[in-house]
Amino acid sequence: MIRNASPADANDLVKLMMLAMGDLPFKFIASADQSIAFSLLMDFVLKEGNQYCLSNTFVYVLDEKVVGAINAYDGGAIEQLRKPFFDYIRKAFHHGVFDMDVESEAGEYYIDTLAVNPSYQGKGIGKDLIKYVINHAERIGFDKVGLLVSNPDAKRLYEKLGFKKVGYRYLLDNKHEHLVYRV
């Protein structure tokens, strides 16, 4: 079952986000301390009005356990959504200086993170979450869904679902392909 994320899901959700983000949370905190990165994401998952908040997240629940999660939002609102998060990390971890290129664009519903618990991978959960977000985007009036990808296996999944490469974007000096699905 796929549903909106709730506060009770936060611990599992942050674990999945950490899995999806790779080294990005550690760049946010300018440290390799996993507990600090986890705590940072937990704080913002539980605060409304930012890109990582619960209202921008759907979870896949199997046997009463969160086994997958997808975070997506209006790509045109990225500056507004990331402002509280970036303001905080600039002050707390970067002495006032931290910048990152914009990863999304106006007119696209943007998939920020997608992860499936490794014990449940290969069962179609990621695919179901992506399809769910595509249908949700269409219901709320978007005509395209976008995302960035650098993992070849993930890229193959997105392409099988109909995503097409439209260019490249950089996030903290890492090159990603920008893929778009036309609704």
CATH code of 133's domain: 3.40.630.30
- Tokens read off for 51: 């890109």
* The overall pTM is greater than 0.85: yes
What's the number of domains the chain is made of?
A: 1
According to DSSP, the residues that pair with 177 across neighbouring strands are 149, 168
**Rounded Cα distance, 130 and 16, in Å:** 15
Domain that holds residue 58: 2-182
| pLDDT tens sequence across 126-182 | 999 999 999 999 999 999 999 999 888 899 999 999 999 999 988 877 889 999 999
Q: To 10 degrees, what angle do helices 78-93 and 34-45 make?
A: 140
pLDDT in tens, 12-39: 999 999 999 999 999 999 999 999 999 9
Rounded-to-integer distance, Cα 33 and Cα 151, Å = 24
Q: What are phi and psi of 94, to 5 degrees?
A: -125, 20
175 CB burial (10 A radius; 0-12, 13-18, 19+): exposed
